Chain A
Amino acid sequence: MTFWIAVGSLCAICGILALLLVIADGYLNNYGICKLTINKGSKEAEVEGGSTLLSSLNSAGLFIPSACGGQGSCGLCKVKVHAGAPPVLPTEEPHLSKEERESNVRLSCQLKVHNDMEIEVPEELFSIKEYKGTVESLTDLNHDIKLLRIALPEGEEIDFIPGQYIQIETPAYKKTPEPVYRAYSIASDPRDKTHLDFCIRLVPGGICTTYVFEHMEAGNPIRFNGPYGDFHLTDTDKDMIFIAGGSGMAPFLCMLAHIKNEGITRNVTYFFGARSRRDLICLDKMAAFEKALPNFKFVPCLSEALPEDNWEGETGLVTDVMSRHCPDLSNMEAYLCGSPGMIDASVAALTSKGMPIENIAYDKF
């Protein structure tokens, strides 16, 4: 008897407390509809208050770049909030410089929308959209890089500048409890607005790359948003150097297609660094570009060529090969894509040969 009284009263107490909390939650977390005024009224959105500015803007169709998925660790989702924001939160502090604080820059993933806000974002973010495409094909480019081809839904098109990137959503699976986003450069011809290509290299243990390599199949739905990034060709006449190895080739495939489409006649030399022959990718495409573009030269170089490779091309580190080919860089431009280590080494090599730092554009990943 006592047992049932005990269980009954315990359940009753818990039930009453739960009800109380539900009522309090409904009252306290209800901020009503808040109005977001973006770029002095060029866009206005009414959102349900209470969630983060990043997700509110997402639901209003404005995509702010974010690599960490709203955890406050990447610091990419900065926007200017001119009115309606609480003081800077401790979670934002490490990402904001003094100047940024003075000009009202905030991390949109940390800030919650509790009232009407006035926001300023870069104009180009308005062209960023979310797409629900389909995986058209997955092709091996070499032993650890795959070419992922995505088809956009019927009737939709995407406009992008060669060199920009897309964020691909990895849905929740055994490696991640919630969807995560990873950035990949577009590798396809910008003329084809209904398909996108990406070069994806297997990162051991990587959430997105493991998903692509082990779980993704042609025909699967895939969500992505973009385009993002300001890595693009300048409109000068200077000779250009491209440096990238492995999947870093992606933006250059896109840029070369663009150069071909537009009939650009600037001199381009592409130094592709790899260890041995098995790391090389897209040699046929490069040969085709060399044929179509008289001013384009593809220079693959192997740093650890194996005896069975029978390699007759350039050997050594890509930076050394580049230095041998181009003794004077003072009036050239360089475009780099790769890991921070490779970029830093290349920037050092380029500047030591006289290239002004402002002529170097890079995409670190």
Chain B
Amino acid sequence: MILAMTEPIAQSGPGFFTNLLIIFLAAAFTENILLTRFLGMCSFLAISRQMKTSVGLGFAVVFVTTFTAAINWLLHTYVMVPLGIQFLEYIVFIVVIAAFVQLVEMVIERYSPALYFSLGIFLPLITVNCAILGVSLFMLNKQNFGFWESLVFGFGSGIGWLLAIVLMAGIREQIKEDKIPPGLRGSGITLIVTGIIALAFVAFSGMIK
């Protein structure tokens, strides 16, 4: 869908900002990284227990996806392609992500120690959150992406992940007191609910094309 959008189908294609908006909406909704590709499930299942921590981790992911997508695009376009070392993209991307997560960790520890402690191990684990690496790699598949498109794509994907975890946290806080069969408590019911939300998100798929 995105490809269709970014290619000039009609002579008068969408304007620059309209295009960015469409990329954003597509990344956040129709191609939601968590609900359509099921990436980044580990921290999603573990952290979505509480609204406050979910929002915190969600924004950390938004920050990391946005900037890593942009930096990785720059590195890929201006360093790796000219030097012919695209085969290093995985290792370079993950190094950039690791460095950025360190940075986010320092920022959160400085400005919100409570959030820092409640995220616990999942904050450094954003590094190995496959959603982040996924965003950078999917970005390469979109052939016509320039710098701004990549930045917006990263931001939109992050917002999509934030949206998914916040939705889930809201639902989990609601059903906390409910009588759930013992075998389904915790991750079980969360996965089922995630599946149902994912079905709902499929409905978005017709909206951008």
Q: Which A residues are within 8 Å of any B CB, using their own CB?
A: 2, 5-6, 9-10, 13-14, 17-18, 20-21, 24-25, 28-29, 86-87, 89-91, 110, 112, 114
* Chain A: CB-nearest residue to B106: A28
| Complex CA distance for A25 and B83, rounded to whole angstroms | 32
Instruction: Pick the residue among B84, B85, B114 that contacts A90 (CB under 8 A).
Output: B114
Q: Determine the residue in chain B with the shortest Cβ distance to A87.
A: B114
For A10, list chain B residues within 8 Å (CB).
88, 91-92, 95
Which label, helix, strand, loop or mixed, suits the secondary structure of the B interface?
A: helix
Say yes or no: B92 contacts A24, CB within 8 Å. no
Chain A contact residues, majority secondary structure: helix
Give complex CA distance A217, B27 in Å.
Answer: 67
Contact of B88 among A6, A87, A89 (CB under 8 A): A6
* Total number of residue pairs linking A and B with CB closer than 8 Å: 56
List the A side residues contacting B117 at CB < 8 Å: 89-91, 110
Asked whether, in the complex, the Cβ of B95 is within 8 Å of the Cβ of A14, the reply is yes
B102 touches A21 (CB 8 A): yes
| CB <8 Å contact, A21 and B103 | yes
**A29-B113 in contact (CB<8A):** no
Residues of chain B touching chain A, judged by Cβ–Cβ distance below 8 Å, are 75, 79-80, 83-85, 87-88, 91-92, 95-96, 99, 102-103, 106-107, 109-110, 113-114, 117-118
| Residue among B85, B92, B103, B106 making CB contact with A5, cutoff 8 Å | B85
Give the distance to chain B from A45, nearest Cβ to Cβ, in Å. Answer: 21
A2–B82 CA distance with the chains assembled, in angstroms? 12
CB-defined contacts of B87 to chain A, threshold 8 Å? 6
Q: Across chains A and B, which 5 residue pairs bring their CB atoms closest together, nearest first?
A: A17-B99, A28-B106, A6-B85, A89-B117, A28-B110
Chain A residues contacting B92 (CB-CB under 8 Å) are 10, 13
When the two chains form their complex, are residues A17 and B79 in contact, meaning their CB atoms are under 8 A apart? no
Q: List 22 A-B contacts (CB under 8 A).
A: A2-B85, A5-B83, A6-B83, A6-B85, A6-B87, A9-B80, A10-B88, A13-B75, A13-B79, A13-B96, A14-B95, A17-B95, A17-B96, A17-B99, A18-B99, A28-B107, A29-B110, A89-B113, A89-B117, A90-B118, A91-B117, A114-B110
